[in-house]
Structure 1
Amino acid sequence: MTTEQLSTGLLIDGCWRPAADGATMAVIDPATEERIGMIAQAGRADTEAAIAAAARAFESWRSVPAWERSKILRKAASLLAERVDRVARRMTLEIGKPLAQSRAEVLAAAETIDWYADEARRIYGETLPGRSTRQRFVTLREPVGPVAAFTAWNFPVVLQARKIAPALAAGCTVVCRPAEEGTGAVAMLIGCFLDAGVPAGVINMLTGVPGEIAEAVMDSELIRKVSFTGSIPVGQHLIRRSADTVKRISMELGGHAPVIVHEDADPVLAAKASAVAKFRNNGQVCVSPTRFYVHEKLRAAFTDAFVDAVKAMRLGHGLEPETDIGPLINRRRLEAVERMVEDTKASGAALLCGGRRPASPNRGFFFEPTVFGDVPDSARVMHDEPFGPIAALSTFQSFEDVIARANGPSYGLAGYVFTASLGRAQRTAEALKVGMVGVNSFAVATAEMPFGGVKHSGFGRENGAEGLRDYLDVKFVSIELPGDV
């Protein structure tokens, strides 16, 4: 691809255009540190124009029959699946994840859109008997209004799909702001919606530094809901700001997922599955398993298998087919991971592998996949989300002890358990204070099931039937029938 092909503008009212003041930002390939394109940098004037376009389009889009909205969503999903290779390549160049993982993400986004094509036709109200023979009670579900969708860079396409698809299915219009990284892939996603027949103004895309965009969105009375995926501090700020205009909000924030490996689990199978899940997208995953609590009887077998699996992983550019782990997203993340590693060393934990930048590749934001053993609960890595290639192994003896430790941090997004006992699996799943639990599996994100957390990991749900409800208001209608038949 050329630099020109990787450049991305703003989408406002159906037109791709530069920022009003001409501002731009560079797109950097994290594997080479080379500039591979430019994106427009939206300001307040651009944001207000996008909000106005979404508000105008809402009045007509909300009236489009559900079956017609369903057809458009289905077509968008089909187009995205057809274009998977182009979108995946763009994503890998922009954020560094291995191409196979990028393809899987794009296809997952297509599944999500297809799922909501069905849900668009299932927005049900209720009819209830009144308190007299002449009275009827009815509830209607109506679109909440124009919404804003803010997403992180680690899964740029699927995160936007989780917000745009249910919003459009409900009859809402959208102003979306993907992270600075990965915007080209998101633009290609939105292109699928436009080519499928989404009218001008129904989807608008802004790129650039988030502060000015977010403040204009939060100030606006026209935006009636904000859906955010990102860090806890930013989420807390948006929650506070939402009070001024009483916006509906949903938050998918950070995670620090515990993995509990009970004494009856297969330690080798659990270790191999854990290593793959931990280092997917270089650990830059909100539901990434990070704290591994292994029963003391399985300590040696699990640790040996885990470390062996990690040592076999190959670092490299995401476009190279033999690459297992790509670079971190930018230098800030690389330096944050280095600080976390040094802090974990200082805690007295045993460094089992990794722990440094590799000798090769000698450019790009690469860091060796890192495993620590005997990590004390006091170490920062056991409380602060590392969001990188760091695995912290510890042991436990009793069920009560491991549950207390697993639930200790303020996060509550995902948790995992490995066991051969159905009863132990059920008790562990019920005891973990998280929004999602994987039992002998790390698959907790599917189009048809709710995704989200509790505690500081946020509230609201994406995916599944629950993901549509946050975009709908409930209206109660009380009817008094006139006279007799």
Structure 2
Amino acid sequence: MAHAYREITLIIGKSRIGAAERHSRPVVDPATGETIGELPIATADDIRAAAETAGRAYEQWRKTSSHQRQSILRGAAAALRARREELAWTITTEQGKPLAESRGEIEASAETFEWFADEARRSYGRIIPSRFPGNRQLVEIEPVGPVAAFAPWNFPLINSIRKIAPALAAGCSIVIKPAEETPGATLIAVECLLEAGLPEGVVNVLYGNPAEISEGLIRSPEIRKISFTGSVPVGQSLAALAATHGKRSTMELGGHAPVIVLDDVDTAQVAAMAAAGKFRNAGQVCNGATRFYVQRGVYDAFLAAFADHARAIVVGDGRKDGVQMGPLANDRRVLAMERFTADARRRGGGVVGGERLGNAGNFFQPTIFHDLDPKADAYHTEPFGPLALVAPFDEEAEALQRANDINVGLSSFVFSDSAKRQRRMIDGLQAGLVGVNTFTVSFPETPFGGIKESGHGHEGGSEGLEPYLVKKFVHVA
């Protein structure tokens, strides 16, 4: 069932500022190329007002009991589920993924609200026995303060919720800038929070010029913490600016995940799992599998089965029944896929797929590069699209060397039926997330974060609340 695409507005306290009141840019359906809405561009005054509003709202929100914060977040989770079909249609229409994947993102978002609702009740201080008779030593927990958060377009709802939920649970207010390509889902989530009783001004939403908004918020004296999910270069720039102003940051940056397939597995089963994991969300997944290193004894069988599964994937408009992979979220990603493919062909690698599909929309074939020169561009730059690289190896040490020979370390995967071999791979892989015989490494209750240039800090789990809290030591003599 189709739904009307909602009006896009800035949210600053009680104010709702639409495209008619500001310069605007179109919001485009990636499946058709058609304009579905207009996005208002925040002015410098809007950015300043959002930071000031968050600062004022924080002084009241921080005093709200953890029980009340829990109730509001749980109410928002229920409201998300009640609006599931509207939300799924919105996500698919502005981002492209099939409706089934959008519904899964909504459920994960609701569970994230619920997890952090309960974490609000579990943020404890502690008592430290004093060396002095009659004295007390306490460690108290307080919210860090107003937060500036920046979320990308690949998972437009959950990426925003992963920042909003812990901030609110901790007692922080927040100004969030979701991606300009995918604005609608976050606005619906904010409506759900307000329906659940969140005071206006605790969550504020800006869209516009990303560099102008990020710099304006980070420089604002009200803002005490930064949270960013996105590319390595942008994240490093924002982290440097935050450090200049003495503000803590959480950076969830790029990945280029290796997959090591050892020769003791059911090759057909792993190939089917690989296709489902790789081409989910058209490969636009920061912790998704990209570089497949397959032991030579099963290499040919794996490659053949993997290629067959890739060719069989039904690509089309994510709102239509039977579609397994939608369009890429924007034309920039299609152009990137074309550049990677041209480079692979120049270098003599094997290419399965590698073509744009249709005359409208951002559709690209599920694509596999195999037996490719390790110097190829796709090995050194995260493709962030429906593109997998497959290469053989002989010894475990060779697989680990190739898996770790990169500047990022978000996720990694290993497939083996041997507990000893699994342990060696887990110990050797340099990544913040390791999946063993699975491509699923993210849940609301588990920490999500990388090493190397994949960033610092965590989202999810009890670790996800910590960046939004500060500790105050109190010594009572």
Q: Shift of the alpha carbon at 1:21?
A: 5.8
Q: How big is each residue's C-alpha offset from its partner over 1:207-240, in whole Å with a ceiling of 9 and x where there is no partner?
A: 1221111111121111000000001110011011
Residues 239 and 249, structure 1, Cα contact 8 Å, conserved in 2:
yes
The residue identity in structure 1 corresponding to 2:166 is: P
Match of 1:439 among 422, 431, 436: 436
Shift of 1:204: 0.3
**What's 2:339 paired with?**
339
Q: Percent identity?
A: 47
Structure 1 match to 2:355: 356
Distance in 2 separating the partners of 1:479 and 1:418: 55
The correspondence of residues 336-485 of structure 1 with structure 2, limited to 5 A, is 336-351=336-351, 353-358=352-357, 361-480=358-477
- Cα deviation, residue 22, structure 1: 1.3
After TM superposition, the structure 1 = structure 2 runs for residues 60-459 of structure 1, keeping only pairs within 5 Å, are: 60-351=60-351, 353-358=352-357, 361-459=358-456
Is the CA contact (8 Å cut-off) linking 1:20 and 1:46 kept in structure 2?
A: no
Do 1:88 and 1:102's aligned partners in 2 also have CA atoms closer than 8 Å? yes
Unaligned runs of 5+ in 2: none
Query: Tell me, which stretches of 5 or more residues in structure 1 are unaligned?
Result: 481-485
- Give the aligned residue type for 1:365: N
Letter matched to residue 307 of structure 1: A
CA drift of 1:243 comes to 2.4
Q: Cα deviation per residue 1:63-118 (whole Å; 9 max; x = unaligned)? A: 00101110010100111111111101001000111111111001100000000111
Amino acid aligned to 1:116: F
SS across alignment from 2:356: coil
Query: For the Cα contact (< 8 Å) 1:20–1:45, is it kept in 2?
Result: no
Structure 1 residue matching 2:465: 3-state secondary structure: helix
* Residue pair 1:2, 1:36 contacting (<8 A) in 2 also: no
Residue 459 of structure 2: SS of its match in structure 1? coil
Structure 1 residue matching 2:444: 3-state secondary structure: coil
C-alpha deviation, 1:4, in angstroms:
7.3
Q: Is the 8 A contact 1:232 1:254 kept in 2?
A: yes
Q: CA deviation at 1:20?
A: 9.8
In 2: Cα distance, 1:177 partner to 1:20 partner = 20
Aligned in 2, Cα 1:301/1:195: closer, same or farther, shift over 3 Å? same
Show CA shifts across 1:109-139 (max 9, x none).
0000000111000110010111121222110
Q: How far has the Cα of 1:375 moved from its partner?
A: 2.0
Give the aligned partner of residue 483 of structure 1.
none
CA distances 1:235-291 after superposition (whole Å, capped 9, x unpaired): 011011112321110000000000000111111111110111111111111011000
- Structure 2: which amino acid aligns with 1:221? P
Residue 431 of structure 1 aligns with an amino acid whose one-letter code is G
Moved over 4 A (4+): 1-4
Kept in 1: contact 2:271–2:306 (CA 8 A): yes
Residue range with higher mean Cα deviation, 406-415 or 211-220? 211-220
Q: Give, as a single letter, the amino acid of the residue that structure 2 aligns with 1:343.
A: D
Asked whether the 8 Å contact 1:265–1:418 carries over to 2, the reply is: yes
Report the secondary structure of 1:448's partner residue: coil
Secondary structure, in 3 states, of the residue corresponding to 1:212?
helix
Q: What is the TM-score when the length of structure 2 is the normalising length?
A: 0.98
Distance in 1, Cα, partners of 2:380 & 2:267: 25
Kept in 1, the 8 Å contact 2:409–2:431? The answer is yes
Report the AA paired with residue 312 of structure 2: A
Distance 2:15 2:196 in 1: 16
Q: 1:13/1:236 Cα in 2 relative to 1: closer, same or farther (>3 Å)?
A: same
Structure 1 distance, partners of 2:53, 2:80, is: 25
The root-mean-square deviation of aligned C-alpha atoms, in Å, is: 1.4
Q: Taking structure 1 as the reference length, what is the TM-score of the superposition?
A: 0.96
